[in-house]
Amino acid sequence: MRLLSLLFFAFLVRFIHGETHTWYFETGWVDANPDGVFEKKMIGFNGSWPLPTLRVKKGDRINLYLINGFNDRNTTLHFHGMFQNGTGQMDGPEMVTQCPIPPGETYLYNFTVADQVGTFWYHSHTSGQYGDGMRGAFIIEDDDFPYDYDEEVVLTLSEHYHKNSDELTPAFLSRYNPTGAEPIPQNILFNETRNNTWKVEPNKTYLLRIVNVGRFVSQFLWMEDHEFEVVEIDGIYVEKNTTDMIYITTAQRYTALVRTKSDTSKNYAFMAAIDETMLDVIPGDLQLNGTNYIVYDDNNDKPEAVTVDSWEDILDDFYLKPLSNTTLFDEPDLTVTVDIAMDNLGNGVNYAFFNNITYTRPVVPTLLTALSAGEFATNELVYGTNTHSIVLQGGDVIDLVLNNHDPGTHPFHLHGHTFQVIERGPAFPDDEPTDWNATDHAEYPEYPMERDTVYVRPSSYAVLRFKADNPGVWFFHCHIEWHLDQGLALMFIEDPMGIQNNPEQQLTESHKNACNKAGVPLEGNAVANTNNYLDLKGENVQHKPLPTGFTARGIVALVFSCIAAFLGMAAIAFYGLADIPDVEARVTRDLNVEYEDDIADDEIITEDQPLRGSQESSRSNRSNRSGKVRI
Amino acid sequence: MVNVFNVQIFFIVFREALEAIVVVSVLLAFLKQGLGGATQDPLVYKKLRKQVWWGAVSGVILCLILGAAFIGTFYSLRNDIWSKSEDIWEGTFCIIATILISLMGIAMLRINKMKEKWRIKLARALTKPPANKADRFKIGYLTKKYCMFILPFITCLREGLEAVVFVGGVGLSSPATAFPIPVICGLIAGVAVGCLLYYSGTTTSLQIFLIISTCILYLISAGLFSRGIWYFEMHVYNNQTGGDAAENGSGPGTYDISKSVWHVNCCNPEIDNGWDVFNALLGWQNSATYGSVISYNIYWLAIIVVLFLMHFEEKNGHLPFLKNLTLVQLNPMYHIKGKKKNNLTKAEQDELFANLKNTKIGGDEIDNSESIESSKEVKEVIPVESEKKKGSL
């Protein structure tokens, strides 16, 4: 009996606490040819690419040892969508929640998946790396999945560049790219390859977990003669919503049921297309559409590409209702309004701004500042004036108003939370960006849509609402990696005292080791000052703005030039007025002319005289002259 | 208003016409003054004057042909070869023009000082074909004879080409009715300025007129030099950014910050009406680079230095600090060609002296005045020649 109860107890314990997954992954460059037309190196784990799809169950614990196998760069890892409640230093973004992991070092990512279920993904949070391949799907299975299905399939989408970030990023963030035009990809990938085949069986229900693991373009997804029944977005179950076409931005996830036909006489196309409005330029050889195959029967022909007439029929995720029936959160305690804009600073480079601040990284990772700042941790100043840090009080409801002054679509992602999307405006013309009107706006939905990555339309606005119930330092940024490189990011310092008071949040040994080896201070304010947290002298700030008019240098140059012109004209006048004794000889010599005989006055022709004067006079005159004056 | 009068087209035509007309009218006034007056040589004067007009007209015709060719390829082949290399074209034209005008200006200043008869002699000598027919095709001869043709030709060609291509490109967005009036008005305005210049030139003293018009020419030329350098730098920047930065207006990103000396977001000669005239006359740029500012100042410095050297040599017979050197010896062509011609042999010198003696004795008034002049001239010639001989030895 005791054994039974012991076994039962052990079973319960394991059931409650879940499994522990231990992985050792070493980063490194791997030869690959993802789009089939260009051999290049991608960033792989343990010598292989693509990265593995990690599967866990609700409540499991993750122990991921990330070994930096590079020899010339740092790395980090972010589990996109995980709340990391109490485990802020496992979130991943460099200089926000952790020191970067230098080459050769190992960092332990140790956290629980807690209550979250659904389709997620993991990727490097060091600039340029996930675009170069360091990304993979992360599935949290739910034994109580609300819908029935026969088989689960993971689909990752992304764009693909032939060049690596080492080449693309410096060329992008350069004064020779003053418009901030993002580099154009060469192809799109469907499960990290092209022209992929999905072998299906008839009369089955598949659970399709779709993740956009790209770094730039949003994609349209549609199947020939099949529908998507969307059941989950970004880890939030929603009421079933059937659609023909899905629009998915980078970092978003859609999980949909796909019911296959009973007829196996035909194979069908599974199309993916780039949202071409996001590309500055569309090169002639870029294929915007990718064709993949839903194959019922190998013996039948491969399907042809199918096109659509319009991009209007996409599922508008604003209208998805969470299955949890969560109602609109209460009135906000704090409303943060940010204007999104792109502009050039004094070095000629195009940067991205939230309210005229472009995110500039501090010397000490912000979470480490929050942990070490003591009573000053609630003072936004200690985090730096150029990191755009906003301190939130624990338990508050926060409204985040995004006014997009840029004529481009931006997918914004908040770490550590999902948020309710309570309003999203339509696209406005490029030259008339429209702000959200606090006094005159649409009624908020009763059961607003919830997710962790949402797009704002061009020149339009969106309002997000979330609860500050997760003490930590949470990055909020555009998930187009080019824009993150341009500084389109801000940070929420949520309940800093709550962070300090939680022993689990204290730095782990692996974290301290990484900081020391990377040469990053473990304590201090944004400029590593531990004596006076309010003294920010020497902090990293953004470049000065471009001079708008004449600087001192310009005025000096203009005055000098005017003086030079006046002196020049004076010299001309002086020379012009001066007498030269033998100018004729000089000029004729310099112009190298030969004169014919000397000319007397009467030889000068007027119009009614013949060409030569009287022979006599000319002869007589001539005899007294010198001969040819050859000069 | 825009439908019948496109302001941008007016300013483009006015600006282009202005530069060409200034050059042509200064030349014409110079000819009239230099060879006009009581002692005319109308045939030579007419010849040279015809050269100027022929130069201008053929420049205009050629530019219309070339401009039509550019516009034709743009529309039919969709190949905008003009705009891809636009900055190189513009820059090269500017540099060529500035060289021509600079040389012409100095020549004009010196010719100004010659006594009238000598100017006429010069004019006749320039237009007379050489005895040896083969020599007719020598470049040196041709450039001298047709110098009055070359400068207006190149100037009108350049200005006209710019105008035609701009108007052809600008006109895309305007209805056809908006063309004729601004083009005509622009031409009339330009011609009016030219006439003003011509008549004021022909009525004031030659010296003052020449000085003023040379100042104007050199201001334009300095501006052209600066613009040429600016265009080349713009071309480099456009290649680096992969596009035509100037098309984005005047804001950030249209210029290279690392080379900028000043930049204002207004007053852009490429797109703001009226400022292009300022640019044509004085080389104004709203976005000045180190290259354009330094080249402007260097140009004036060079002019001042050359004028000073010329003046010094003319007063003292040699360059400063170098007793044996004269400016003309710095010209490589002198050493190749000119040496022999400029040195009289001993026998020729003797002959010259003998003739001089003869002319001094008696003769009528005309002879006397002539002889005084010629003897003065010969006197000056010989010491210079002998000095030169010393130098060449």
The per-residue pLDDT for range A421-435, each reduced to its tens digit, is: 999 999 998 888 999
The predicted pLDDT at position A191 comes to: 95
CB B337 within 8 A of CB A594: no
Q: Do B222 and A568 touch (CB under 8 A)?
A: yes
Q: Please, which pLDDT band fits residue A504 given cuts at 50, 70 and 90?
A: very high
- Mean pLDDT along residues A448-454: 97
Q: How far is A119 from chain B (nearest CA, A)?
A: 41
| Least confident interval from A89-103, A522-536, B71-85, B91-105 | B71-85
The Cα–Cα gap between B197 and B383 comes to 41
The predicted pLDDT at position B209 comes to: 77
- Mean pLDDT along residues A434-455: 94
Q: Do B366 and A621 touch (CB under 8 A)?
A: yes
A308 backbone φψ class: left, alpha, beta (φ>0; ψ -120 to 50):
beta
A495 backbone φψ class: left, alpha, beta (φ>0; ψ -120 to 50):
left
Q: Which of A551, A600, A606 sits opposite B262 (nearest CB)?
A: A551
The Cα–Cα gap between A459 and A432 comes to 7
| Least confident interval from A145-154, A483-492, B207-216 | B207-216
Q: Do A591 and B144 touch (CB under 8 A)?
A: yes
Top-tier CATH class for A334-518: mainly beta
Using CB atoms and an 8 Å cut-off, which of residues 179-208 of chain A contact chain B? 179
Q: Which of A348, A571, A579 sits opposite B308 (nearest CB)?
A: A571
Q: Do A601 and B126 touch (CB under 8 A)?
A: no
Q: How far is A99 from chain B (nearest CA, A)?
A: 34
CATH of A147-322, one of 1.10.443.10, 2.30.30.100, 3.40.50.2300, 2.60.40.420: 2.60.40.420
Q: Which residue has the higher pLDDT, B308 or A168?
A: A168
Q: Which residue has the higher pLDDT, A550 or A283?
A: A283
Q: Do B125 and A588 touch (CB under 8 A)?
A: yes
The predicted pLDDT at position B250 comes to: 73
Asked if the model's pLDDT at residue B249 lies above 60, the reply is yes
Q: Which residue has the higher pLDDT, A195 or B115?
A: A195
CB A485 within 8 A of CB A361: no
Asked if the model's pLDDT at residue B365 lies above 50, the reply is no
Nearest CA in chain B to A545: B252
Asked if the model's pLDDT at residue A625 lies above 70, the reply is no
Q: How far is B38 from chain A (nearest CA, A)?
A: 10
A chain contacts of residue B117, beta-carbon cutoff 8 Å: 599, 604
The Cα–Cα gap between B298 and B280 comes to 19
pLDDT tens digits for A27-77? 999 999 999 999 999 999 999 999 999 999 999 999 999 999 999 999 999
| Least confident interval from A414-423, B116-125, B197-206 | B116-125
Q: Which residue has the higher pLDDT, A484 or A595?
A: A484
Give me the phi and psi of A141, to 5 degrees please: -80, 150
* CATH topology agreement for domains A17-142 and A334-518: yes
pLDDT tens digits for A465-484? 999 999 999 999 999 999 99
Share of chain B above pLDDT 70, in %: 61
Structural tokens at position B315: 């007063």
Q: Please, which pLDDT band fits residue A290 given cuts at 50, 70 and 90?
A: very high
- Mean pLDDT along residues A533-538: 93
Name the CA dihedral angle for B291, B292, B294, B299, rounded to a multiple of 10 degrees: 120
| Least confident interval from A242-246, A529-533, B362-366 | B362-366
Q: Please, which pLDDT band fits residue B122 given cuts at 50, 70 and 90?
A: low
Q: Do A561 and B342 touch (CB under 8 A)?
A: no
Q: Do B288 and A606 touch (CB under 8 A)?
A: no
> Residue A595: which of B381, B373, B130 has the closest Cα?
B130
Asked if the model's pLDDT at residue A149 lies above 90, the reply is yes
- Mean pLDDT along residues A9-17: 58
The predicted pLDDT at position B180 comes to: 75
The Cα–Cα gap between A535 and B125 comes to 84
Q: Please, which pLDDT band fits residue B387 given cuts at 50, 70 and 90?
A: very low
Q: Which of B117, B126, B296 sits opposite A599 (nearest CB)?
A: B117
The predicted pLDDT at position B158 comes to: 79
Q: Please, which pLDDT band fits residue A145 given cuts at 50, 70 and 90?
A: very high
Q: Which of A178, A572, A630 sits opposite B211 (nearest CB)?
A: A572
The predicted pLDDT at position A383 comes to: 96
Query: Which of B43, B118, B299, B378 to substitute to test the interface with A, most A CBs within 10 Å?
Result: B118
| Least confident interval from A179-188, A266-275, A505-514, B137-146 | B137-146
Query: What CATH architecture applies to the domain A17-142?
Result: Sandwich (2.60)
- Mean pLDDT along residues B94-101: 83
Using CB atoms and an 8 Å cut-off, which of residues 555-614 of chain A contact chain B? 555, 557-558, 560-561, 564-565, 567-569, 571-596, 598-602, 604-607
Q: How far is B356 from chain A (nearest CA, A)?
A: 7
The predicted pLDDT at position A101 comes to: 97
| Least confident interval from A63-72, A76-85, A149-158, A542-551 | A542-551
Q: Which residue has the higher pLDDT, B266 or A398?
A: A398
A chain contacts of residue B41, beta-carbon cutoff 8 Å: 604-605
The predicted pLDDT at position A594 comes to: 58
| ipTM entry | 0.72
Q: How far is A170 from chain B (nearest CA, A)?
A: 13
The predicted pLDDT at position B361 comes to: 45
Q: What is the mean pLDDT of chain A?
A: 90
Range with the largest mean pLDDT of A227-236, B186-195, B353-362: A227-236
Q: Please, which pLDDT band fits residue A294 given cuts at 50, 70 and 90?
A: very high
The predicted pLDDT at position B355 comes to: 64
A chain contacts of residue B121, beta-carbon cutoff 8 Å: 588, 595, 599
CB A26 within 8 A of CB A64: no
B chain contacts of residue A624, beta-carbon cutoff 8 Å: 358-359, 363, 367, 371
Asked if the model's pLDDT at residue A326 lies above 50, the reply is yes
B chain contacts of residue A607, beta-carbon cutoff 8 Å: 42
Amino acid at residue number B212: I
Task: Provide the residue count of chain B.
Answer: 393
Q: What is the DSSP letter of B251?
A: S
pLDDT tens digits for B30-82? 777 766 554 556 777 777 788 888 888 888 888 878 877 777 776 666 556 56
Q: Which of A175, A560, A631 sits opposite B297 (nearest CB)?
A: A560
Q: Do A567 and B304 touch (CB under 8 A)?
A: yes
Share of chain A above pLDDT 90, in %: 81
Q: Do B328 and A589 touch (CB under 8 A)?
A: yes
Q: Please, which pLDDT band fits residue A158 given cuts at 50, 70 and 90?
A: very high
Give me the phi and psi of A137, to 5 degrees please: -85, 150
Q: Do A626 and B257 touch (CB under 8 A)?
A: no
Q: How far is A343 from chain B (nearest CA, A)?
A: 8
Q: Please, which pLDDT band fits residue A172 given cuts at 50, 70 and 90?
A: very high
The predicted pLDDT at position B25 comes to: 83
pTM of the complete model = 0.80
Asked if the model's pLDDT at residue A227 lies above 50, the reply is yes
Q: What are the start-end ranges of the H helices in A537-614?
A: 552-577, 583-591
pLDDT tens digits for B269-307? 777 777 877 887 788 888 889 999 999 999 999 999 988
Q: Do B241 and A177 touch (CB under 8 A)?
A: yes
**At CA B71, angle to CA B65 and CA B74, rounded to 5?**
140
The Cα–Cα gap between A511 and A111 comes to 14
Measured in Å, how far apart are chain A's first and last C-alpha atoms? Answer: 135
A chain contacts of residue B211, beta-carbon cutoff 8 Å: 572-573, 576-577
Nearest CA in chain A to B115: A584
Asked if the model's pLDDT at residue A629 lies above 50, the reply is no
Map residue A242 onto helix, strand or coil.
Answer: strand
Nearest CA in chain B to A630: B341
| Least confident interval from A313-317, A440-444, B85-89 | B85-89
Q: Do B367 and A624 touch (CB under 8 A)?
A: yes
Q: Which residue has the higher pLDDT, B386 or B227?
A: B227
Q: What is the mean pLDDT of chain B?
A: 72
The Cα–Cα gap between A69 and A45 comes to 9
Domain spans of chain A, in order of start: 17-142, 147-322, 334-518
Q: Please, which pLDDT band fits residue A601 given cuts at 50, 70 and 90?
A: very low
A chain contacts of residue B341, beta-carbon cutoff 8 Å: 592, 630-631
- Mean pLDDT along residues A1-15: 63
Nearest CA in chain A to B216: A569
Q: Compute the count of residue pairs across chains A and B with CB atoms less than 8 Å apart.
A: 215
Amino acid at residue number B168: G
Summary count for chain B: helices (H), strands (E): 15, 2
Asked if the model's pLDDT at residue B126 lies above 70, the reply is no
Q: Which of A560, A581, A605 sits opposite B43 (nearest CB)?
A: A605
Q: Please, which pLDDT band fits residue B377 given cuts at 50, 70 and 90?
A: very low
Task: Report strand pairing: A40-45 vs A289-295.
Answer: unpaired
Q: Do A590 and B265 touch (CB under 8 A)?
A: no
Q: What is the DSSP letter of A124?
A: -
B chain contacts of residue A344, beta-carbon cutoff 8 Å: 252-253
The predicted pLDDT at position B2 comes to: 54
Helix, strand and coil percent figures for chain A, each rounded to 5: 20, 30, 50
Cβ-based neighbours of A373, under 8 Å, separated by 6 or more: A379, A382, A496, A525, A533
CB A81 within 8 A of CB A127: no
Query: A71 touching B, CB under 8 A?
Result: no
Domain spans of chain B, in order of start: 7-336
Asked if the model's pLDDT at residue A614 lies above 50, the reply is no
